[in-house]
Amino acid sequence: MAKIIDGKAIAAEMREQIAADVKVLMDQGVTPGLAVVLVGEDPASRVYVSMKEKACAATGIYSVEHKLSAETSEADLLALIANLNGDAKIDGILVQLPLPDHIDEAKILEAISPDKDVDGFHPYNVGRLVTGNPVFQPCTPYGVMKMLEHTGVDLKGKEVVIVGRSNIVGKPVALMCLAEHATVTICHSRTVDLPQKVAAADVVIAAVGQPEMIKGAWIKKGAVVIDVGVNRVGEKKLVGDVEFVAACENAAAITPVPGGVGPMTITMLLYNTLLSAKRRAGQQD
């Protein structure tokens, strides 16, 4: 039976350390600050933003929310970002995605100063990750790496199979695993014989967005499974991309959904904001 990798517990432990580090920094006169920008009324985005603010408050990070109407122009949003780029109290800028259709998302993300880009989506930070010299790493994949580290998984020489190639999860997590000397295979919707690819993996990272599409029987005995997927089935139930109960029969360790990768994403946002504030205070990483 697989060991359950408890994302909530790992996140709680990390947040405790972050809060302690924030306190030390504040004693030195630097309060980490995060600006969260929300455009429009998307209910899921509002929930995420409020979770981020609560998490900031709980760790002592100063946060300020800019709630803009869905009709906000691209020019006004760019002006706000320019202001935040120049605001000495702000170490991190997060623009909640998705943005309304009339706003060019890429243009907005590129307007954020790379040294306040705590989401790690600016092309500069993407490039730094590709070249193996990251400055800010995107939160969800970074959270996956922290979970593997906490679980004691040494990726060196391991076969890692990632299912999903999005810019926010699949591709960056592949680069992070590569940096840890894993042999990485990235699968996607055109991959031929996915079961055979997954069966060869020492570590499976699923980021697809389809309920339980990775079958438990595909998982190699003793593999580690990280399930990033969050899929709503029915009214209230959430499931991952991996068939959890059946996968537990084969995996050595597995993340549940919910309570796995989810809690790590906001934790890594706090972590990146703290990192940015430490840099402002002239401290080395």
> For binding to ligand NDP (CB under 6 A), which residues are involved?
140, 163-166, 168-170, 187-191, 194, 207-210, 213, 228-231, 261-262, 265
Reply yes or no on whether 52 is catalytic. yes
Q: How far is the CB of 175 from ligand NDP (least distance, A)?
A: 14
When the beta carbons of 52 and 278 are compared against ligand NDP, the nearer one is: 52
Looking at 52, 116, 171, 278, which residue is catalytic? Answer: 52
DSSP state of 261: S
When the beta carbons of 66 and 165 are compared against ligand NDP, the nearer one is: 165
Q: How far is the CB of 134 from ligand NDP (least distance, A)?
A: 18
- In whole angstroms, what is the distance from residue 120 CA to residue 138 CA? 4
- In whole angstroms, what is the distance from residue 201 CA to residue 221 CA? 10
Reply yes or no on whether 171 is catalytic. no
Looking at 6, 91, 117, 119, which residue is catalytic? Answer: 119
The residues, ordered by sequence, that sit 6+ positions from 73 with a Cβ below 8 Å of its Cβ are 102
- In whole angstroms, what is the distance from residue 52 CA to residue 15 CA? 12
- In whole angstroms, what is the distance from residue 186 CA to residue 197 CA? 9
Half-sphere exposure of 47 (CA within 13 A, CB side): 3
When the beta carbons of 51 and 64 are compared against ligand NDP, the nearer one is: 51
Helices (H), 156-261: 170-179, 194-199, 244-250
Looking at 6, 21, 96, 137, which residue is catalytic? Answer: 96
Reply yes or no on whether 104 is catalytic. no
Q: How far is the CB of 214 from ligand NDP (least distance, A)?
A: 9
When the beta carbons of 265 and 272 are compared against ligand NDP, the nearer one is: 265
Residues tagged active-site: 52, 96, 119
